[in-house]
Chain A
Amino acid sequence: MKISFNWLKEYIDLSGIDIQEVIDKVTLAGLEIEEVIDQSKMFENFVIGHVKEVKKHPNADKLHLCVVSDGVNDLKIVCGAPNVAENQKVVVAKIGAVIPENNFEISKAKIRGEESFGMLCSERELNISANHAGIFVLDNEIEAGTTAAEAIGLNDVIIEVAITPNRQDALSHIGFARDVAAIFNRPVKFPSLDINEIDEESSSLASVEILDPDLCPRYVGKVVKNVVIKESPEWLKTRLKCIGLRPINNVVDVTNFVMHEVGQPLHAFDLDYLSGSKVVVKKAGDDKSFTTLDSKKRELQANDLMICDGQKTVAIAGVMGGENSEVTVNTKNILIESAFFNPSSVRKTAKKLGLQTDASYRFERGTDPEITVWAAKRTAQLIQLTAGGEICKGEIDAYPVKFELKKVELRFERISKILGYDVPNEKVTEILTNLGFEIVSKNNESVTVAIPLRRHDVEREIDLIEELARIYGYEKIPDIERVKVTLEPKFDETAFENQVRETLNGLGFYEIITNSLLSETVSNRFGNSIGVLNPQNMDMSNLRTSLLPGMLTTISRNLKVKENNLQLFEIGKVFNKKNDVIKSFDDFSEDSMILGIITGRSIDTEWYSKDNNFDFYDLKGYVYEFLKSITDKEIEHSYKSESNQLFEYSVKLELDGEELGIIGKLNDELCGGYDIEHPVFAFNFNLEKLSSIPVEEKKFKELLKYPKVFRDLAFVIDNNITHNEVSETIKSGSSKLLHNIKLFDIFQSESLGEGKKSLAFQLEYFDETRTLTEDEVEKDFKNIIKNVEKKFNAKLRG
């Protein structure tokens, strides 16, 4: 909302107060000023000039060489306007001036060989009208050298105020003035309503009937006869233009003016088009559509509140009037509507229609039912002032159920209890009174006030405390330096995922965060996805069912910028539907997942390394290292490769028979869909499952006091026999003295024979209670060789 200071000053005396101080203080009190336009600053370097001489430009037919006095100096200015002439008073943009229309800064220029020290401006260039036919010529009485701001009355300060949804009462100049008045302890002045009414009663010319009093508790009508519709006078147009409104005609402009003056939205009907000269306020019912005054046909719902006449619908209540009864140049008699509509009803209708107007914006926030009569009178007064005519006596005031003022008690001790500082009792009553709260009773403990109906946001003691705090000033609350310590049990529900992050960082993985919203097709490919009713676009219409698409998109994007070697992970939620209709938290799952990938090379080609492509064994190494940080228990894997749409091959990791997650190589086709040609190895775990692995308390293990004995051996064996089969056989045929089996070499060569490989193991023997003898190790060792040779038809090498 825009507020003009020139306009504001009609309702509050701001003498002696700097505008900046007003801006700072209202901002602190909750009316946030987002932008300040100081017109006089906008017109710095613009002065009124006297055109002394006009000659033709020697090198251009349409240009003139002018000499213009700025009151002190004569300036040479090249001007292209057809209407420039000697002895005119014009607006000169001097060097350094910035043209409001296009932010162009004037500098010394040479135009077709002739120097120019400024520019003569059109009205459009000054942003004061659309006129660009020629330069703006002013009254000759104005002296050269006068600032342009002063000469054309552009000395206003306009502010853009962000009004929070609770403060509809501040959505007007008088409303804004009320807060300023309370802050500076000055009164608000209402304009006088001294009007001449004719004897003819408004109620004899029109009638109002409310069929849905819940949705329209009050409807005030007033009639003005014999008006002449024409352009508004300058003062009215200036007011509206200052706050960014386009003047239309005197009657419409007056209704807009009064709305921005006092906050009451108004509508003017052409009374002669109201059949039966009556207004009926009722729900749309069977009416299916209506054409609003912007000539658009609107679809209606049965519960939308409408304004009707004896036969037809004439307006959507609180939203927009109709084409069939709008004020036109031929309008003679006017019915002014000044009503209070149910906020949530207006909001529902406006939302459904996708039509937010200045009126609906105010009605849905709750207007002031008490101001309706005043606003109707004020509108009539200004219509008469600008359009002539006769004001009919009195108002038609349909007010079926009267609102009662709410009374709220404020206990003084609660102020310091909530705010932590005391507001003196006199200050309390002063602030509340200045805000328009009437003191009903008062004693040493408390004060009871009546809340004006415009303050829908104030209904409890705490709301009054807020009013005090914001007007008295938050800055008066002391910066305390001590806070209480409370000793309830402490917890950190992010501790586990942070531990996971740190372990993976230590292993060289970078964390990524991707969008949780994906397209329906993509999301459904990985699960049973949940759609959003109102997505921004179809690429972000469904919640992700997997972290994989985000990861693949990330890999793909990195490959495009030649970042080919990636070690990444993401921790995030995935969402899956369990039932088609979501009525409770049981109908869907929301799981915390961790997905990691490696792709490209572990080390790029460097002076010390050639080819180091990541492979499955890198992945497995990382994953086992990672899992070691979570549990000491042994992780089993299924040893049975699975191939599916996601993985070319993969194995499931288990702990005590419970599946923890999966590791493997992603399907080439899947990756290909993201233009990824390198192999990608991935692990995917459910974070909640990992965090629920019981952590066994660490117990110190006595260090081994006796020497270890190592034995190496290598077998030549069939290619298809796995490392695991051999090591299991070694283990099963060995004594309890064997503690570790390490595969330290694996190779194939022609010399070993077709389909053969060599596996070399190092065996680690020890006993915690004594030194081993050569003989017992040798015996065990021989046993192992025999077993393996026999089982796999293997040969001991060397």
Chain B
Amino acid sequence: MRRETLLNLVIALALLAVPLAAQALDEPFAITLATKVAILALAGVGLNIALGLGGMVSLGHAAFFGIGGYMMAVLATPVQAYEPLMTWPIELAGTKSMPLIWLGAVVAGAVGALAIGALSLRTSGVYFIMITLAFGQMLYYFAISWPAYGGEDGIAIYVRNGFPGLNTLDPLHFFALAYAVLLAALWLAHRLGGSPFGLALAGARQAPARVAALGIRPYRLKLAAFVLSGAVTALAGALYADLNRFVSPSMLSWHTSGEIMVLVILGGVGRLFGPVAGAALFILLEHFLGGISEYWQLFLGLILLGIVLFARGGLIGTLAGREVPHD
């Protein structure tokens, strides 16, 4: 077994073991932390499809994270208020069912990523970074100035949405859901990396001219990857909104984009379990540094600076060595 595969297995089991142990020790807060790790890791897996596989440095993924979150609010608030979602052109009720909300989030995230990606991918490099950042910020300001869903204050969903057969208000049940979704997304990302699509995408990242010479248009390939990436991140957003039972424009703020990117880098760009390791490290840092000092982000910044300057490859890169070429 390759060293990285072994390490991935250890990470996956550790993330599962923490909430189980916490349940045995009656520490529900640790379960919530582990759920947060799983959900942020899911957002990171989404970003990693664009960043790691496609080489697209998107600094606007908070847009999709927030779209997912707001989609949850859009679908669940009508039920909360005993009103229909819309009456025209067809009468449609809201829903408190997670599978339907997830579907809505994924579709909305994909549509958002298609619109933003189609424009942003006309450029590359540093333009792409600035433009994704700007479009993310556009949605942020829109959410602040649009009063229907609470504007700047955000909106609370009082009861967590349901999943058939599970009691989602039980922290362990909700963790199991988030964990299962994370594993499914990891499996998808893994299959994607080895698929013809993934290989062509890697080619488009490394040598766009050659890929174009082979008759493949890098633009379409990258756009498809960007849409998939946005959809996965939107799913994470819907789960995150359910975890907090609260949605606010801060989900859309560019700090969120930065944090999702930071956790991917902390773990290791382009590594399958990079986002999981990174999210775990990020939450641990937040929890423990936050306990020591109110100004914990100062230390986070210094640590991050140290990693970028001196420890390239992130946690997985440090522990498992350089990426092994595919067989």
Same complex for A and B? Answer no
B interface residues (Cβ-Cβ under 8 A, vs A)? none
